[in-house]
Amino acid sequence: MALAFCSLRAEDSFKPGEIWPDNKGVHINAHGGGLLLRDGVYYWYGEHKTKGSGGNVANVGIHCYSSKDLYHWKDEGIALEVAPAGSGSDIEKGSIIERPKVIYNRKTGKYVMWFHLERKGRGYQSACAGIAAGDSPTGPFTFIRSTRASAGHWPEGYSEALKNGPVRAAGKNFSGGSLPGQVTLDELNIVKRDFDRGQMVRDMTLFVDDDDNAYHIYSSEENSTLHIALLSSDYLSHSGKYARIFPGRFMEAPALFKREGRYYLLMSGCTGWAPNAGRSAVADSIWGPWVELKNPFQGKGANTSFRSQSTYVVEAPGKKGNFIYMGDRWNPGNAIDGRHIWLPIRFENTQPVIEWAESWKY
């Protein structure tokens, strides 16, 4: 009996790219995910995918798992369920719910979840954030609303010339991966186009700083530019203060972490489900200036980030300063079979470096 049980259990090591069984022996179904640490327990929230290519839309909801050591994960069920198909809810079955992240608000005692939300049947055109909250880390979370970002607010340092300038974005076709030809980002002035409605939100993450300020980091302006937005003190809305970083660099899949007082970002380029070379950046202040560094991946396969895309960075339990890269190896043809690529991050001065390992421990 004991032997049979052991064979179902994940081992005390990470095996990037392999099936990763939970406590029931089922491959962990939490993609584009993020972690929350509360009272010595890690909670992993991610997209619950289903079989086939139709499994990339939200058919079920956001799945939650818990662990004390990051190796063994207990299935905690669906933390946020989709609403029934046809209900007209923003999060109805068949909508797109991606890259959920959960943070805990010490003042209100609420667990707050943000995710990238696309309303059903509209492709990636809604470009909204969804917000949900709950009283327990495992849920249930209640959907509150969907929103664009910071409607009616200009980003930090946006020039008067652009605020008062023309908008050439109207009527242009955006591929999501590059600008329409022969026109610059400033000429397009997407920020001004979206000023009243609010800025677009696609790939995203959350980050809580040591002073409890929380930030929403998301791909905006037709994916061309990352925004960093300060949240309100209850974490349930944008505060109105935000900055644009890496304009025109088409950064996706942001994962933000802090090490020795500096802020780091791991990101990808913008090529849909297909992997590309990773990117990294460092800053002394979260508002920047952000300095882009090199592709953090090194060795064979570095140009596709070892066939993965960043989603989160976590510090290893009890090993201060040991950071772990969490990435997704998407399987768009059979979404449920997406694999988790977790690898150690080492630093060459400020440059994060990630190398392949078949099997490793922190």
CB of 81 to ligand GAL, least distance (A): 20
CB of 273 to ligand GAL, least distance (A): 5
Backbone angles phi, psi at 360, to 5 degrees: -160, 165
CB of 269 to ligand GAL, least distance (A): 9
CB of 63 to ligand GAL, least distance (A): 16
Task: For residue 335, give every residue at least 6 positions away whose Cβ sits within 8 Å of its Cβ, in sequence order, or none.
Answer: 31, 49, 50, 51, 52, 53, 54, 55, 56
Reading the block at residue 279, the tokens are: 């990117």
Q: Which is nearer to ligand GAL, 13 or 175 (CB)?
A: 175
CB 342 within 8 A of CB 359: no
Radius of gyration of the chain (CA): 20
Tell me which residue has its CB nearest to ligand GAL: 272
CB of 228 to ligand GAL, least distance (A): 18
Quick check: helix, strand or coil at residue 25? coil
In single-letter form, the type of residue at position 227 comes to H
CB 238 within 8 A of CB 149: yes
Q: Which is nearer to ligand GAL, 79 or 335 (CB)?
A: 335
CB of 49 to ligand GAL, least distance (A): 12
Instruction: List the one residue out of 219, 28, 185, 215 whose CA is nearest residue 114.
Output: 215
Quick check: helix, strand or coil at residue 302? helix
Q: Which is nearer to ligand GAL, 230 or 267 (CB)?
A: 267
Q: Which is nearer to ligand GAL, 63 or 99 (CB)?
A: 99
Q: Which is nearer to ligand GAL, 22 or 252 (CB)?
A: 252
Could you identify the residue written with the tokens 């099936």? Answer: 19
CB of 338 to ligand GAL, least distance (A): 11
Q: Which is nearer to ligand GAL, 28 or 117 (CB)?
A: 117
Q: Which is nearer to ligand GAL, 175 or 359 (CB)?
A: 175
CB 248 within 8 A of CB 242: no
Quick check: helix, strand or coil at residue 335? helix
CB of 202 to ligand GAL, least distance (A): 7
Q: Which is nearer to ligand GAL, 117 or 191 (CB)?
A: 117
Strands (E), 29-126: 31-38, 41-47, 61-67, 74-81, 96-104, 111-118
CA–CA distance from 257 to each of 41, 109, 261 (Å)? 19, 23, 10
CB of 309 to ligand GAL, least distance (A): 6
CB of 134 to ligand GAL, least distance (A): 23
Backbone angles phi, psi at 320, to 5 degrees: -55, 135
Which residues contact ligand GAL (rule: CB under 6 A)?
Answer: 32, 98-99, 203, 252-253, 272-273, 309
Q: Which is nearer to ligand GAL, 273 or 287 (CB)?
A: 273
215 Cα distance to chain centroid: 12
Task: Please work out, in degrees rounded to the nearest 5, the angle formed at the alpha carbon of residue 352 by the alpha carbons of 346 and 355.
Answer: 60
Report d(CA 316, CA 257) in Å as an integer. Answer: 13
Q: Which is nearer to ligand GAL, 105 or 308 (CB)?
A: 308
Quick check: helix, strand or coil at residue 286? coil
B/e letters for 29-54, b = 16+ CB within 10 Å, e = fewer, are bbbbbbbbeeeeebbbbbbbbeeeee
